[in-house]
Structure formats: C-alpha cells, structure tokens
Copies of this chain bind each other. A is one copy, B any other.
Amino acid sequence: MPEFDRVLIGGLGLLGGSAALAIRRHGLAREIAACGRRDLTPAIDAGLIDRQPHSLEEAAREADFIILATPVEVLRRQLPRVIERARPGAIITDVGSTKSLLVEAAEAATGPGRFVGSHPMAGSHRTGWEAATPTLFEGTTTYVTVTSRTDPDAAARLCRFWEQLGSRTVVTDPAHHDALCALLSHVPHLTASALVELIAQAGEDPAFLRVLAGSGLRDTTRVALGSGAIWEEICTHNREEIATRLEATAGILRSLAGDIRRAPPGALAERLDRAAALRARLDRGAE
C-alpha cells in the first residue's frame, strides 16, 4: 500500500519534478498528477507524472497529498484556494523558501485541508523538470514549519515524507525559519551580489577580470548567479529580516575597515580566526 493515493504537484519545475521522481522511486503514491502553465505531456512521456489536470483547484478536490512548488508570490495566491477545495484530511504543503507570509495566507483560508509548510533546502543552478533527479533531496535539510494551528498528525506525516526522500527535517515556527534563512541564505546571497556590484563599479573589462578571478572569488559570489525575479520575491516576503541583517553586515564591514586602519597588531588576526573557527564548525563532518 503506498503512503498516498493521489499526489498532486502544483508547478513542475526542478523541485516539483524531483519530488515526483523521488515519490516514484520510493513507491509513495498510487498516482502523481501535476499542474503547470506548460504542456506537461513530455513529463508524462518521461514517466515523471501520470497526468496533467486542467485546473489545480479542481484537481485539489481529488488528492490526498498536495505539494505546491511554484514561486512564492504564486504560492501566496494558490495556497488558500487549494486548501479551501481540498478533501477532508488531505495534507497540503508548499516548498517556498520563505514561510511567515505563506503560512499566514494558508492559515487565513478556511477549508478541510491540513496545511503544513515545508522548505526543502535543495536546488541546483539548473531549472525545470528536465533537470529533475530523484536524489535531489538526499542529504539535504528540510524545514517543516508548525504553528498553534498545525495538525500534529499532518506535521508528523509530512516529516516522514521528506525523510523518506532522504532529507533531514527541522521543525520550527515560520518566524524563526525566516530569521534563520535571512541569516544563512538571503543575506549571503545579497552580499554576494553586492560584491559583484563592487567589481562592476571598478570598470575593468570583464574578460580581463575573468582571467584574474580565482576559485575563492567564484565560490564567494556563485549564489549571485540566481534569478533576480525570484530573489526580489524572497526579499519582499522576508523584507524586515533581510534588510535589518544587511544593515548589520554593513556595520561589520565598516568595523573591519576600522580595524584594518587602526587596530593594534594581532587584533584583526584574532577576529578573523574567531570567524574561521565558527566557519569550520559549519562544514559537514565537523565535530
């Protein structure tokens, strides 16, 4: 008996497509349907999904597990509509990389569906279901967000689902999720973009800079390759956490500049070594 009867995926991109493949591989559903703006016949032919319903809202009436994997602004509109139409007992989740506004929108909906937010920290520089892989979630961490209104049984089943896909789950509330993601993902992303802006301001020929860019610079700025539209949405959804922490980072940079100009010998080394020690503890396999 598969864990779920009918799974519905909203938005068949890299994450939705990889979830479909992983659900297949682990035999977690009898049927997988997916909705998307594109014609998904090639994805049906490739065996990712069984069918493409015409309307997400209509298909929501039939599914017992719904994963919405659209951009966060689309999620904010889709979540209430899907929750209101879902069957009693159905579990609905999303994979949005911000949570407070989405959970708020979902919990404002009145319906029989049981919503629990997810944020699987999986991705690739490639996009679209064509880049999907059943192992995308293996070894990753997935946030599962709960509030006082979350059904504990639905949260537990959702955690089990992500764990079956090979991801470790971390359960927290939406505000803490957003604070952690600002710190660990959103601000680092924007800081990488700021470094590229700094480089742009120098006015050197990019072909010359490419010869001079070492692996350190490429690593440090790699995330700045992301889509501006997606990151604007994330910033809109997590505005205050991100803006405040960007300003804090600016303060640290000014303080480092001050140390470089004025600190007594050894003080900057000690400061950098403290950061290096914490950074070492963030590597997998540390401790």
Contacts and interface: CB of A to CB of B under 8 A. Distances in A.
A45 to B, nearest CB: 32
A212 interface: yes
Interface residues of A, number: 94
Given A185-B214, A239-B260, A222 B224 contact: no
Contacts of A227: 269, 272-273, 276
A242 B260 CA distance: 8
Contacts of A214: 121, 140-141, 184-185
A246 B257 contact: yes
**What is the oligomeric copy number?**
2
A282 B201 CA distance: 15
B251 A209 contact: no
A208 B217 CA distance: 27
Contacts of A195: 187-188, 191, 249
- Of A252, A254, A273, A284, most B-chain CB atoms within 10 Å: A252
Interface of A: 121, 140-141, 143, 168, 170, 179-180, 183-185, 187-202, 204, 206-214, 216-229, 231-232, 235-236, 239, 242-254, 256-258, 260-261, 265-266, 268-276, 278-284, 286-287
Top 6 A-B residue pairs of the complex, sorted by shortest distance between their CB atoms: A228-B272, A228-B273, A228-B269, A250-B250, A232-B269, A196-B275
19 contacts: A143-B212, A170-B208, A179-B202, A188-B217, A190-B253, A190-B272, A191-B220, A192-B220, A193-B271, A193-B275, A194-B249, A194-B275, A196-B278, A198-B252, A210-B281, A218-B283, A221-B282, A227-B276, A249-B250
